[in-house]
């Protein structure tokens, strides 16, 4: 079942919404539904990058590298140079 709702937007905002909908070749309703889905997911914390397995894996690798080869703690460029020098 689909229910219609009435929502008010300022004229300039509605023009921007319509322009985006047209550029993406979809209806205003589709665009608003997607925006609300994203908002609701963000409120639930589901869209945080750290919640993605690939991001968690990358962070784990960086954490392990930091534990294995601590740098100066001040400057990432200096840290990289320190790590490179230790490999030689």
Average pLDDT over residues 56-64: 85
Residue 87 has pLDDT above 90, yes or no: no
| Angle in degrees, 0-180, between the axes of helices 28-43 and 11-23, rounded to the nearest 10 | 100
Mean of the per-residue pLDDT values of the chain: 84
Residue 10 has pLDDT above 90, yes or no: yes
Residue-wise pLDDT tens digits, 20-46: 999 999 999 999 999 998 888 877 766
Global pTM reads 0.49
Tokens of 27: 């209806």
Per-residue confidence (pLDDT) for residue 33, from 0 to 100 = 93
In angstroms, the Cα distances linking 3 to 6, 17, 29, 58 are 10, 21, 12, 43
């Amino acid at each position: 079942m689909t229910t219609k709702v009435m929502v008010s937007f300022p004229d300039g905002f509605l023009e921007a919404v319509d322009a985006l909908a047209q550029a993406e070749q979809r209806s205003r309703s589709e665009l608003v539904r997607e925006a609300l889905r994203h908002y609701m997911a963000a409120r639930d914390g589901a869209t945080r990058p750290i919640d993605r397995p690939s991001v968690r894996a990358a962070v784990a690798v960086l954490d392990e590298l930091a534990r294995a080869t601590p740098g100066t703690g001040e400057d990432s460029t200096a840290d990289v140079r320190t790590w490179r020098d230790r490999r030689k």
